[in-house]
């Protein structure tokens, strides 16, 4: 039985002497259960694009590798794969430098890479392991003395959800911005504190919480507000994973990287 | 046998001595427990948000003051006249003071270091030829554990008069790698290869951007500087991986490193030519 698209995030039960395999464009995950032990292998994929898939295969098909990791858990019948957001803020470098003029507002649909988390256990699930599904670069947001270590990602600024391809290894983050200032708001870099965001499952896409920002000028502190209800762009949103660090928002001054902040060094 | 001997010995003591002994024992036990308790409570609860360094200093001040007070109380209990003792201590103190100028200098240097805060416990510092992690900052000295697991004690006076480099003060650092490429190499290709290496390395930050600079024409080749920014905890990973990356990429692209070499050219027409001299001798 093969599952594709966001159905790969459905809970699974692996029969004895069988292996589960999740295949993503840049990584494949192999899981085998032997009594109370979970054997997990994560391998890089080279195909780079294409969809995600999940299937149960026989043990003879599992790759021989010294990289298998072994975990022990008493309650090991069902297994819950879940997409989670990266463990550090993500600095997104838009494909084009865009300026939001004073008094204007817009919405962007940003694509965030997700990590694969495997949990097991009943009402108190235990995390077995976590693995990034795409390669992100390390980057620094701030000056060399103060700032945040982040993941870096080149991205496209989508104005409509229709232009976002539905994939299982990326979640869509709706970002609403109002420029309520007298100055231009330039998007050269956007730092999203993804550790504060949850993931929901829609009918076609994975989603994160919506973000709402009112920019009041580079010198004024404005909060980035996290909308905690599921985004209303698709029907029947189901929560899939909680935020690593639940929060109500963060300071917008640490969100937009404008040229003037980076000319000091 | 032993217990019987103690009982016999206690029987020989007068009740007054016994009472005094008991009071001294109680003073010592309760005094020391109280001092210890006070130090722990202050460190854990009152100074919970202070730096480790401050916590350690306050704990030591409380401990030393407490022990001194307990000692005074015990001496008082034993009938030692404290005024005479303190007078004698004053004279001894002057003598000791003259003899311990270095220690006093270290203490004063320690106070300066504490107020200036050039480093804290856990920082990696380099002082002289010693590099290591700070384990404690005391009034007389700091203690360092080097990366080859040696314990080094450096007097505060020496630190105050030396150049100290705090390697882990800032969250990110730049690693500069200097090497030379052979003359005749396509420098644009070298630049492109280095940019690709930096971009592909998982430990190198892409912001701030890596620095690639052709710095000097040297005797054997052109000197190149590759400066990569990294998070301070990733030093070893970056250092090991980047050297391998550069070596592999240069080998694949046919870029040659420069090696020291000296070219000696002897012209056959020169009167100094050994061949000419040899043929002249034969003729």
Contact of A69 with A102, CB cutoff 8 Å:
no
> Any CB–CB contact under 8 A between B229 and chain A?
yes
Name the closest residue on chain A to residue B174, using Cα atoms.
A144
Same domain, A182 and A68: no
Question: Which residues are CB-contacts of A143 (< 8 A; sequence separation ≥ 6)?
Answer: A261, A264, A265
What ranges do the domains of chain B cover? 2-99, 116-166, 172-253
Q: Which of A58, A82, A106 is the last residue of a domain?
A: A82
A and B: number of Cβ contacts within 8 A: 40
Identify from A93, A140, A190 which residue to disrupt to test chain B contact, counting B C-beta atoms within 10 A and taking the largest count.
Answer: A140
Same domain, A67 and A113: no
pLDDT score of A51 more than 90? no
- Please write the tens of the pLDDT for every residue from B164-197: 999 999 999 999 999 999 998 899 999 999 999 9
Rounded mean pLDDT, B16-40: 86
Same domain, A25 and A154: no
> Any CB–CB contact under 8 A between A265 and chain B?
yes
Q: Which of A39, A62, A82 is the last residue of a domain?
A: A82
Name the closest residue on chain A to residue B171, using Cα atoms.
A145
**Window from A108-112, B64-68, B143-147 with minimum mean pLDDT:** B64-68
Rounded mean pLDDT, B53-79: 83
Query: Which band of pLDDT confidence, cut at 50, 70 and 90, is reported for residue A252?
Result: low
Same domain, A129 and A231: yes
* CA atoms of A206 and A200, how far apart (whole Å): 6
pLDDT score of A123 more than 50? yes
Same domain, A44 and A94: no
Helices (H) and strands (E) in chain B, counts: 9, 8
pLDDT score of A48 more than 70? no
Same domain, A36 and A149: no
Q: Which residues pair with A61 in a beta bridge?
A: none
Among A135, A140, A146, the residue with its CB nearest the CB of B208 is: A140
- Please write the tens of the pLDDT for every residue from A63-90: 888 889 998 877 666 788 999 999 999 9
ipTM: 0.79
How close is the nearest chain A Cα to the Cα of B47, in Å? 25
Same domain, A8 and A103: no
Neighbours of B199 (CB within 10 A): 11
> Any CB–CB contact under 8 A between A141 and chain B?
yes
pLDDT score of B54 more than 90? no
Rounded mean pLDDT, A47-57: 81
* CA atoms of B39 and B59, how far apart (whole Å): 5
* CA atoms of A156 and A122, how far apart (whole Å): 39
Rounded mean pLDDT, B274-278: 69
Parallel, antiparallel, or unpaired for β A170-179 and A206-208?
parallel
pLDDT score of B11 more than 70? yes
pLDDT score of A264 more than 50? no
Same domain, A109 and A130: yes
Same domain, A15 and A68: yes
Which tokens in the block code for residue A160?
Answer: 């409509």
Structural domains counted in chain A: 2
Same domain, A18 and A88: no
Query: Which band of pLDDT confidence, cut at 50, 70 and 90, is reported for residue A206?
Result: very high
Same domain, A66 and A94: no
Q: Which of A46, A66, A82 is the last residue of a domain?
A: A82
pLDDT at A15: 80
Give B7-71 as a DSSP string: HHHHHHS-HHHHHHHHHHHHHHHHHHHHHHHHHHHIIIIITTTS-HHHHHHHHHHHHHHHHHHHH
Pick B116-166's CATH classification: 3.10.450.50, 2.30.30.60, 2.40.50.1070, 2.60.40.2470. Answer: 2.30.30.60
Same domain, A151 and A134: yes
CATH class of B172-253: alpha beta
Name residue, tokens 């093969």.
A2
Contact B208 A141 (CB under 8 A): no
Give A133-188 as a DSSP string: SS--EEEEEE-SSSEEEEEEEEE--BSSGGGSPP-TTEEEEEEEEEE-SSS-EEES
Give the residue numbers spanning the domain of A91: 83-262
Question: What average pLDDT is seen over chain B?
Answer: 86
């Amino acid at each position: 039985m093969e599952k594709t698209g966001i159905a790969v995030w459905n809970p699974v039960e692996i029969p004895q002497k069988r292996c589960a395999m999740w295949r993503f464009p840049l990584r494949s995950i192999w899981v085998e259960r032997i009594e109370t032990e979970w054997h997990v292998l994560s391998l890089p994929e080279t195909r780079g694009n294409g969809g995600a898939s999940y299937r149960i295969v026989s043990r003879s098909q599992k790759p021989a590798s010294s990289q298998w990791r072994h975990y022990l858990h008493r309650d090991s019948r069902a297994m819950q794969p879940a997409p989670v957001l990266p463990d550090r803020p993500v600095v997104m470098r838009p494909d084009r430098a865009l300026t939001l003029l004073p008094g204007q507002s817009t919405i962007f649909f940003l694509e965030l890479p997700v990590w694969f988390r495997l949990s097991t256990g009943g009402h108190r699930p235990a995390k077995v392991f976590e693995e990034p599904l795409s390669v992100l670069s390390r980057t620094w947001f701030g000056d060399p003395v103060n700032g945040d270590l982040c993941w870096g990602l080149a991205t496209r600024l989508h104005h409509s959800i229709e232009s976002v391809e539905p994939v299982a290894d990326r979640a869509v983050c709706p970002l609403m911005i109002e420029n309520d200032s007298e100055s231009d708001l330039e998007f050269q870099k956007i730092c999203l504190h993804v550790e504060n965001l949850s993931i929901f499952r829609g009918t076609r896409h994975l989603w994160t919480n919506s973000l709402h920002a009112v920019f009041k000028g580079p010198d004024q502190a404005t909060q980035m507000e996290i909308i905690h209800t599921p985004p209303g762009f698709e029907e029947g949103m189901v929560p899939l994973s909680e935020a690593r660090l639940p929060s109500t928002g963060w300071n917008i001054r640490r969100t937009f990287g404008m040229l003037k902040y980076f000319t000091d060094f | 046998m032993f217990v019987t001997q103690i009982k016999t010995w206690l029987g020989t003591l007068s009740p007054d001595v016994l009472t005094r002994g008991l009071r001294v024992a109680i003073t010592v036990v309760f005094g020391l427990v109280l001092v210890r308790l006070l130090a722990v409570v202050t460190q854990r609860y009152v100074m919970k948000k202070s730096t480790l360094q401050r916590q350690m200093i306050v704990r030591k001040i409380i401990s030393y003051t407490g022990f001194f007070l307990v000692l005074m109380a015990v001496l008082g209990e034993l009938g030692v006249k404290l005024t005479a003792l303190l007078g004698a201590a004053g004279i001894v103190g002057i003598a000791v003071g003259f003899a311990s100028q270095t220690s006093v200098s270290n203490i004063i240097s320690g106070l300066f270091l504490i107020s200036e805060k050039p480093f804290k416990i856990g920082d990696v510092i380099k002082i002289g030829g010693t590099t290591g992690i700070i384990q404690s900052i005391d009034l007389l000295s700091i203690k360092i554990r080097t990366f080859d697991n040696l314990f080094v004690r450096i007097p505060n006076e020496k630190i105050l008069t030396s150049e100290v480099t705090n390697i882990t003060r800032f969250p990110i650092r730049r690693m500069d790698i200097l090497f030379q490429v052979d003359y005749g190499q396509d420098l644009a290709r070298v630049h492109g290869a280095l940019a690709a290496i930096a971009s592909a390395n998982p430990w190198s930050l892409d912001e701030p951007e890596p620095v690639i600079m052709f710095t000097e024409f040297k005797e054997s080749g052109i000197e190149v500087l590759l400066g990569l920014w990294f998070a301070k905890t990733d030093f070893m990973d970056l250092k090991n991986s980047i050297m391998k990356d550069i070596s592999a990429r240069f080998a694949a692209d046919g870029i040659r490193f420069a090696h020291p070499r000296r070219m000696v050219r002897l012209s056959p027409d020169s009167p100094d030519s050994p061949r000419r001299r040899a043929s002249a001798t034969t003729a």
